[in-house]
A and B are shown apart, each in its own frame.
Chain A
Amino acid sequence: MTSLSPQDQVQEQLEHHEAEHPDHRMFGLATFLVADAMTFAGFFAAYLTFKAVNPLLPGAIYELELPLPTLNTILLLVSSATFHRAGVNLRKGCNERCRAWLLGTAVLGLAFLVSQMVEYFTLPFGLADNLYASTFYALTGFHGLHVTLGALMILIVWWQCRTPSGRVSASNHFPLEAAELYWHFVDGIWVILFVILYLI
């Protein structure tokens, strides 16, 4: 048979669309993350310039402790690894294991947020106290917002792959891969943030 029936053509077109879409969506997400990274770059540039040219006004307090943010760094780095394991298991078709790893990742992300909150409440300065303090809260807050969104995404994916034929499965792992790329991005930003805010 040389020509397809109209029905087959429609079917083929649909499959064609389905098959080529995930690729572009990952590309689109990556482009979006470049834009997102530029937002952080703006904040970092502002922070570093303030540090370089704007001395604190007399009496202003800006001191950071290292232990909690170090713990936070470890939490996020481990969560990147657990997310990777979840993806590997999903592609192998082991939904239950994938979900366990996803849940672990979400718990690590939530632990990060709790720990960040603890830090906020123990710091000796508030949002509007001085220039460095404001920039510190702006940067960590904007990052925390990203972690919150990421944790929500993980929980949604966790819900969607509860059965092997669910919306997220070995045959359709785009949502998981998108969330994973986003999560690695958020972790990477944290590492840069940790170095710039806490170490130098």
Chain B
Amino acid sequence: MTLTVPQQSPPAPQSLQPTGWLRYLSFSVDHKVIGLQYLVCGFAFYLIGGALAGAIRTELVSPISDFMPRDVYNQVLTLHGTVMIFLWIVPVVNGAFGNYLIPFYVGARDMAFPRLNAVAFWLIPPAGLLLISSYFITGAAQSGWTAYPPLSLTTPASGQIIWILSVLLLGGSSIFGGINFIATILKLRRPGLKLMQLPMYCWAMLGTSILVVLSTPVLAGTLIMLSFDIVAHTGFFNPGLGGNVVVYQHLFWFYSHPAVYIMVLPAFGLVSEILPIHCRKPLFGYTTMVYSIMAIVVLGLVVWAHHMFTSGTPPWMRLFFTIATAFIAVPTGIKFFNWLATLWGGKISLNSAVLFSCGFIVNFVLGGITGVALAQVPFDVHVHDTYFVVAHFHYIVYGGSVFVIFASIYHWYPKVTGRLMNEHLGRFHFLLTFVGFNLCFAPQHWLGLNGMPRRVAEYDPQFQLINQFSSVGALLMAISTLPFLWNVIASALQGEIAGDNPWNALTPEWLTSSPPPVENWKGEAPLVTNPYAYGTPENEIDLNSVSGSDLWRNGQ
């Protein structure tokens, strides 16, 4: 009798993709590689944007413009805002963590459109280099990240045009990413996994991507019109030619208010993943979290004119946008109290990830309170275009989003590298960042209330002392990057081995090896129907029902 030996299966047809570290420089279609590409690229731009912020704070140590000329100051603040928003926070909270985690969370082996995903990432480095290079070639744009006309029409055209091109590329990248996330979350879920069983970050990314798809194209169209005003001398936004600057503001803020949520909603989602794991408690109020995300998406689209209370907005508009903005505080508050309730009575391990998450909660509620205050017309008219606004939005985007980015790096680093980060350095990093951040931005509330205008290189000498406090805070923030960078590099080389699931977590990315294999799981994707089932007593678990908790208790 002869045995027919089954033929060896051919090797996987992916041989054109490089392996090893080279794949991080390649047009890889693996969602994990793309996620890390987003993260590293974003962090490089964070360092550049941070250096620009350092230049700003150095200039503001003294009330006269002695560190750099005024027009250079304008370029630096424009680049700082643009880099931090479009090249650091948006790509990292969406692209980096979204690409790495969402396929795991929906039980898929990759994103819905892997090649589109790679295209979306590879638009970013050229766009960023284009933006930065404009400073060296012709002088960068000088009209701030808002590019309000007529300022953007009267400052040198070449820098402004390069700025527009760069933002259009980044907007395109963002839209491609948004389409991919929507399709992945809605269409690529593993059979048997229901929407209301998804980890909260999926909901946050779904909401964010809806905002991206609905609002980013409006910014693109507006910037195309602005470029016509600059290049072809049309008069869309040029009052001298019969145009209307306020229309630009409406269209710009129709994107840029949602952009705030594009930066913080994913951060909400990430914190909702981190807290339950490290407090060993279920996420409090899952359903209300989902509905408040969707409420923020809907309301976030109809509050934009609260940025324009001093632009001659008619009374009915002021009334409508004040009320709509106040309403947003409700779903946001629900999320805030849900996090507190998640922490309440939990077995909290105060590691770096949790410290940064708690720092986020504190900073974000402060930024939220000043945000509600700014939505009130009488108050806003008083502090509009002052440092109060600068303080407010840094509490949201740095105190909120950037703190969560750091929390997430500490939390998911063991998954990506298989090694733990150093906790002592991590806590030191948190301390420096938290103190530095608050020292830098809390005094700016006072500066704004007392009338110091933003975006100007020179100021009234009475503000000097407070500005110096703020600059010292900025210096601490700059220093805080060093222990972090050291920690990331040293832990990759000789950090403690983490194992597959060092946090005993239930979400699907922890139910595979660290780092995960190319298609995420060696076998079938696990069906995790309750990703937050922490703290259930052992004897109450029915081992026959398949849920996340059973999977790790069974040692899979």
Contacts and interface: CB of A to CB of B under 8 A. Distances in A.
B183 A24 contact: yes
A54 B243 contact: yes
A45 B251 contact: yes
Contacts of A57: 241-242
B544 interface: no
A134 B234 contact: yes
Interface string A151-177: 000000000000000000000000000
B218 interface: yes
A46 B6 contact: no
A39 B187 contact: no
B222 interface: yes
Contact of B225 (A34, A41, A138): A138
Given A10-B9, A23-B187, A24-B112, A38 B215 contact: yes
Contact of A46 (B112, B215, B225): B225
B213 A31 contact: yes
B23 interface: no
Q: How large is the interface on B (under 10, 10 to 19, 20 to 34, 35 or more residues)?
A: 35 or more
A50 interface: yes
B213 A35 contact: yes
B112 A42 contact: no
B29 interface: no
Given A27-B187, A60-B242, A134 B235 contact: yes
B251 A42 contact: yes
Q: How large is the interface on A (under 10, 10 to 19, 20 to 34, 35 or more residues)?
A: 35 or more
A82 interface: no
Interface string A113-156: 00000000000000110110011001000100000000000000
Nearest to B6: A5
A130 B242 contact: yes
B235 A131 contact: yes
Contact of A6 (B9, B175, B213, B241): B9
Contact of B250 (A7, A23, A49): A49
B216 interface: yes
A38 B9 contact: no
Contact of B244 (A6, A7, A9, A50): A50
Given A45-B251, A53-B244, A134 B228 contact: yes
Contacts of B243: 50, 54, 131
Interface string B504-546: 0000000000000000000000000000000000000000000
A65 to B, nearest CB: 22
A81 to B, nearest CB: 29
Contact of A39 (B178, B183, B218): B218
B493 interface: no
A130 to B, nearest CB: 6
A36 interface: yes
A36 B216 CA distance: 10
A135 B215 CA distance: 20
B215 A134 contact: no
B241 A131 contact: yes
Contacts, number: 114
Contacts of B225: 43, 46, 138
A28 interface: yes
Contact of B236 (A5, A7, A45, A135): A135
B182 interface: yes
B19 interface: no
B298 interface: no
Contacts of B222: 42, 46
B217 interface: yes
Contact of B234 (A54, A56, A128): A128
Contacts of A127: 228, 232, 234
B218 A134 contact: no
Interface string A17-33: 00000011101100110
Given A53-B244, A131-B242, A38 B235 contact: no
Given A7-B6, A24-B187, A39 B179 contact: no
B221 A43 contact: yes
Given A6-B9, A46-B251, A35 B236 contact: no
Contacts of A34: 213-214
B323 to A, nearest CB: 22
Contacts of A27: 183, 186-187
B232 A39 contact: no
B463 to A, nearest CB: 39
Interface string A99-116: 000000000000000000
Contacts of B9: 5-7, 9-10
A35 B234 contact: no
B449 interface: no
Contacts of B216: 35
B247 interface: yes
Interface in B391-423: none
Contacts of B224: 138, 142
A131 B183 CA distance: 39
Among the interface residues A10, A25, A41, A134, which one has the most CB atoms of the partner chain B within 10 A? A134
B353 to A, nearest CB: 33
B362 interface: no
A50 B225 CA distance: 13
A9 B9 CA distance: 9
B472 interface: no
B24 interface: no
7 contacts: A7-B6, A7-B10, A35-B175, A38-B214, A42-B218, A42-B251, A49-B244
- Return the 7 tightest CB-CB contacts between A and B, nearest first: A6-B9, A42-B218, A134-B234, A42-B221, A39-B217, A38-B217, A39-B221
Given A31-B183, A32-B179, A128-B234, 12 more contacts: A7-B6, A7-B10, A24-B188, A35-B175, A38-B214, A46-B236, A49-B247, A50-B244, A127-B228, A128-B233, A131-B235, A131-B241
Interface of B: 6-10, 112-113, 116, 175, 178-180, 182-183, 186-188, 213-218, 220-222, 224-225, 228, 232-236, 241-244, 247, 250-251, 254
